[in-house]
Amino acid sequence: MENINVYSPECSPENVSPPPPPPPVKSNSGTKLKKSTVQKCGSFASKATRDAWDRMFDEAHGADVLIHTDNNGLIYAHSNVIGMASDVIRGLMKQDKRKPHRKSISILGVPHDAVRVFIRFLYSSCYEKQDMEDLAIHLLVLSHVYVVPHLKRVCESHFENTLLNKENVIDVFQLALLCDAPRLALLCHRMILNSFEEVSTSEGWQAMKQSHPSLQKELLRSVSYELDVKKQRSRKQKEIQTYTQLYDAMEAFVHICRDGCREIGPTKVENPHVSCGFQACDGLEKLLKHMAGCKLRSIPGGCSRCKRMWQLLELHSRICVDSEQCRVPLCGDFKERMKKQSRKDEKRWKLLVKNVLSTKRIGGSPYFLQAIDVTL
């Protein structure tokens, strides 16, 4: 007989069960210890044992069940074996009372080869790799209909690891919903959402539009919702990035005006080409130099770069703890200007300050306000 080249997970050589527990030990009083109850342990079947079960199925010696399949196919089996493996098949055999010496059942709707692989699995829990690749969908159906949980887990594992693709994901998704395979359905749903453009052009999608239009509409709603979530997440990430850059700019402001950096500040740096560690310093220095020599800064609606600098200075004044000791230019002046602003502008600025400070919840700067101090 041809060697078995694929084992199910339970009969794989890597999953050898631990040795059985030692026999119960009696105490001196003759009573058994608490842990002396007999435990049912899984056993590892050798290759010879699996071959024997396969040979029993292939040779059908003493078979007492005749299984009818599509295209007038016939498979012989042993009632004790398949009845113990599937309660559903056992019930079908009990219903057949025409020939007591030989039972007869029908498994229709799937290819003959799929039924043969299924019945063989009931004997030895083994299968050929090529058979699983070709018949996994049919085997999943059979494992669900005839309640063989182990085979269902094997099929789900193969779909998850190798067999699921963009061409068959719609068919597998519908099947997973019908066969009560939630994990497989979730994996299919994720693949549909992540590769919707390719999946929507597959034959399975076109067939689903005709056979299950309600499911197609539900998937379209899921895709639309997922796109909205991705847009919101992207927008939120951009907002956080902007607030983080503003916070870094505020720290660089204090650094420049207190310690000096390169060519700007109270002290002259010996080596202006050495990085100071503040990423925003370079951009702020360029803005400060531009503002110092710009002739349009005092003209209403004039220079956009100078306007941006004024906004950064005002933002700093709003998060600064002590404007009297602060060395950033115009910090105190902006503090006084706040008192004359409209309620609408004040609310907008407070929201911006709250968002900027919330980006540094842990280990905030000692010369800035804390996020909890900002109230709208």
- Provide the mean pLDDT of the chain: 80
pLDDT tops 80 at residue 38: no
Least trusted range by pLDDT, from 89-103, 251-265, 335-349: 251-265
Say what percent of the chain tops pLDDT 90. Answer: 38
**Residue 243 in contact with residue 358, Cβ under 8 Å?**
yes
- Region 133-154: what's the mean pLDDT? 95
Could you tell me which residues are beta bridge partners of residue 261? Answer: 264
User: Considering only CA atoms, which of 174, 127, 173, 178 is closest in space to residue 150?
Assistant: 127
Pairing of strands 103-106, 65-69: parallel
For residue 191, is pLDDT > 80?
Answer: yes
pLDDT tops 80 at residue 58: yes
| Residue intervals in the chain for CATH 3.30.710.10 | 41-127+135-147
Question: Beta strand pairing status for 65-69 and 73-77?
Answer: antiparallel
- The domain 238-263+280-359 is classified under which CATH number: 1.20.1020.10, 3.90.1150.10, 3.30.1330.80, 3.40.50.2000? 1.20.1020.10
Asked whether the predicted pLDDT for residue 288 surpasses 90, the reply is no
Q: How many angstroms separate the Cα of 357 from the Cα of each of 79, 249, 333, 351?
A: 74, 12, 22, 10
What is the C-alpha radius of gyration for the chain, rounded to an integer number of angstroms?
A: 37
Give the model's confidence band at 264: pLDDT under 50 very low, under 70 low, under 90 confident, else very high: low
Please, what CATH class does the domain formed by 41-127+135-147 belong to?
Answer: alpha beta
Task: Measure the CA–CA gap between 5 and 132, rounded to whole angstroms.
Answer: 12
Any idea which of 137-141, 193-197, 326-330 has the lowest mean pLDDT?
326-330
pTM: 0.61
Beta carbons of 322 and 301 less than 8 angstroms apart: no
The string of pLDDT tens digits covering residues 82-136 is 999 999 999 998 887 766 677 889 999 999 999 999 999 999 999 999 999 999 9
* Residue range(s) occupied by CATH 1.20.1020.10 in the chain: 238-263+280-359
Average pLDDT in the 263-278 region? 61
Q: What is the pLDDT of residues 344-353, one digit of tens each?
A: 888 888 888 8
HSE (CB half, 13 Å, CA atoms) of 20?
12
Average pLDDT on 49-60 reads 88
Per mean pLDDT, which range of 127-136, 258-267, 327-336 is the poorest?
A: 258-267
Give the CA distances from residue 362 to residues 150, 181, 241, 277, 373, in Å, rounded to whole numbers and listed in that order.
50, 44, 17, 19, 14
pLDDT reading at 357 higher than 80: yes
